Amino acid sequence: MVNTQLFQSLKNSLTNKFLPVTDETNTTNFSGVAAYKFTAEHKLAQYAATGCLNATYYASAEAQLATVLDLTKEVTPLFVAQTAIYCRERGYMKDMPALLVAALTMRNAVELPRTFKRVMNNGKMLRNFVQILRSGAIGRKSLGSRPKKLVQAWLNTASEKELLAAAVGTTPSLADVVKMVHPKPVEAWREAFFAWLIGKPYKAEALPPVVAAFEAFKKDRSLALPDVPFQMLTAMDLTTEDWAQIARQAGWQMLRMNLNTFGRHGVYALPGMVDLIAAKLSNAEAIAKAKVFPYQLMAAYKAANEEVPLPIKNALQDAMEIALSNVPEIFGKVVVCADVSGSMSSAVTGYRGSATTAVRCIDIAALVAAAMLRKNPSTLVLPFEEKVVKCELNPRDSVMTNAQKLAAIGGGGTNCSAPLVQLNKQKAQADLVIFVSDNESWMEASRGRSTATMAEWNVFKQRNPQAKLVCIDIAPYGTTQAAERDDILNVGGFSDAVFKIIAAFAAGQLSAEHWVGEVKAIDI
């Protein structure tokens, strides 16, 4: 476990002496090649920000789960809580924050109630939490008294809209959750809702308005379509106009995920619907409220079939530009090194059978590179595998266009030092070098006691003494090719929060603990 007294005493050290004073490697990566291991805190943050508890190129879902649970026992409950909140509020993660809160229940943590409230901010998160607890994965199969009270409180304070949204989905369903914890509501409408949900007798006059409208619509299809989650309606024989009304009422994420469905049901043929859907998709306020991952827009763009009209596909590209609006403008020369090797072909959220995303780690690397180029037109982009690969990019092209060019390369072994080797051969000047990789470098030989990447970076620093290196991890493997120190930042994840941290680091605004310090700064 990290020596907290040592970290505290040197927290404000200008030379960051708590980090390695030599470049000597101290572990190996999954490829068996020399690497640098993270502290327990950094490793937990990295796994939490990048791991989706599904199989990746190098590690199984079970191995990830075991690693995360072991790490939650090595760090303080406070840091577990801060990591959970960081990953939910800034990384927009789902399963991992729920797992971390579940782990807190095993430590009698005082931080549990406040962390639960911030992480379980919708019904899907609540159901994730309950499923993790009852699975036995963390060492218990029942909720226990404290978690049960927290779940009861959520059920007894959620709005009608929140409860309806939570009612969509299984394993467990919201009805299962209600049966498990037996909430005791004080409002008549809530009591009627729970009875309706679990199939018990209820007072029809007490049902909340939207549920009452749903029940009425089931009996009389001539009535107006109720404003309920569309999954509650899809089992019915809906008309094209019904589907159009679903699109009008849809939230941003639901709209993005069902573009092909609307095409299949003829929605785009109705007057004004193409313009309406395009306008909703490119609405800046809606994009911000949806907390969209840029890669989700890429996924929607790639998945859109021939029935999705061009204006809607263009709206997705506009949405991408908006979603990446906080990509920083960096003072000085920027180099982005995008890993396009074979291991980057792994799905970014891991293998999930038929639900596996089409977006790969290489797509994320390409997206980051294209976004930095868009905001900083003089950026040099160096795609690499075993060597740097040539790829012509136009800064004036859209982020989506350039990202697709980069992601089309793919394949080959991983050599993280290759871009730095080329920069050193060319005696290049730069102020910020950004790597986007899974850090599973294996094709270069170590240089003495350091990795080849560190050796080449030290050469680069002799020529560029003020330069900084950022290594963005997008897979949960727990090691790096560049040891954390004053001029080197290792950050995990693929949300837009990463861009903010890069900007702060480039401007010298991070604490001595860099990204871990950002996690620790979260006020519980």
Q: Residue 232 pLDDT more than 60?
A: yes
Helix (H) or strand (E) segment spanning residue 485: none
Residues with Cβ < 8 Å from 162, sequence gap 6 or more?
122, 123
Where are the domains positioned within the chain? 326-520
Task: Find the mean pLDDT for residues 22-34.
Answer: 83
Work out the average pLDDT over 340-364: 78
Q: What is the pLDDT of residue 354?
A: 62
Amino acid at 160: E
* Residue 55: per-residue pLDDT: 63
Distance CA 174, CA 194 (A): 9
35 burial (CB, 10 Å; 0-12 / 13-18 / 19+) is buried
Domain range 326-520, its CATH number among 3.40.50.410, 1.10.10.10, 3.60.20.10, 3.40.50.720: 3.40.50.410
For residue 6, pLDDT over 50 is answered with: no
The secondary structure element, H or E, covering residue 316 is helix 310-323
357 has pLDDT over 80: no
Q: How confident is the model at residue 242 (pLDDT cuts 50, 70, 90)?
A: very high
Helix (H, G, I), strand (E, B) or coil at 347: strand
Contact status, residue 292 vs residue 324, Cβ threshold 8 Å: no
Residues 6+ apart with CB under 8 A from 136: none
Q: Confidence band (pLDDT; 50, 70, 90) for 19?
A: very low
In degrees to the nearest 10, what's the CA dihedral of 321, 327, 333, 334?
-90
- Express each pLDDT in 94-123 by its tens digit: 889 999 999 999 998 999 999 999 999 999
Q: Which residues contact 235 (CB under 8 A, 6 or more apart)?
A: none
User: Which burial class, exposed, middle or buried, applies to 283 when counting CB atoms under 10 A from its CB (0-12, 13-18, 19+)?
Assistant: middle
What contacts 438, CB < 8 A, 6 or more positions away?
Answer: 57, 58, 339, 343, 344, 346, 361, 414, 473, 474, 475, 477
**Range from 149-158, 220-229, 410-419, 471-480 that averages highest in pLDDT:** 149-158
pLDDT tens column, 34-57: 899 999 999 999 988 887 766 666
Q: How far apart are CA 357 and CA 131, in angstroms?
A: 22
- Per-residue pLDDT for 490 more than 80? yes
* Residue-level pLDDT at 20: 41
CA distance 439 to 430: 22
Strands 479-480 and 34-37: antiparallel
pLDDT at 14: 32
> What pLDDT score does 449 carry?
82
What is the pLDDT averaged over residues 131-156? 92
Asked whether residue 1 carries a pLDDT value surpassing 60, the answer given is no
- What local confidence, expressed as pLDDT, does residue 237 receive? 86
Q: Is 471 helix (H, G, I), strand (E, B) or coil?
A: strand
**What pLDDT is attached to residue 284?**
93
pLDDT at 299: 84
Residue 149 in this model has a pLDDT that exceeds 70: yes
Please tell me the number of Cα atoms within 13 Å of 332 on its side-chain side: 15
Mean pLDDT of the chain: 88
Under the banding of pLDDT at 50, 70 and 90, the label for residue 422 is: very high
Q: Which of 125, 170, 167, 187 is nearest to 150 (CA)?
A: 125
Is 384 a residue whose pLDDT tops 50? yes
pLDDT score of 69 more than 50: yes
**Lateral strand order in the sheet of 27-28:** 27-28, 34-37, 479-480
The predicted pLDDT at position 487 comes to: 96
- The tokens of 90 are what? 């800034």
Looking at residue 4, its pLDDT comes to: 29
Report the distance separating Cα 58 and Cα 239, nearest Å.
47
Joined tokens for residue 79: 């840091």
| CB atoms near residue 106 (< 10 Å) | 16
Q: How far is CA 347 from CA 292, 295, 318, 352, 517, in A?
A: 18, 11, 24, 9, 29
Q: Is the pLDDT confidence value at 9 over 60? A: no
pLDDT (average), residues 511-523: 92
Q: How many CA atoms lie within 13 A of 220 on its CB side?
A: 6
- Helix segments in 30-122, DSSP class H: 40-50, 61-74, 77-89, 95-104, 112-119
Banded model confidence at residue 410, pLDDT cuts 50, 70, 90: confident
From first CA to last CA, the distance across the chain in angstroms is 22
326: left (phi over 0), alpha (psi -120 to 50) or beta: alpha
- Per cent of the chain over pLDDT 90 is 59
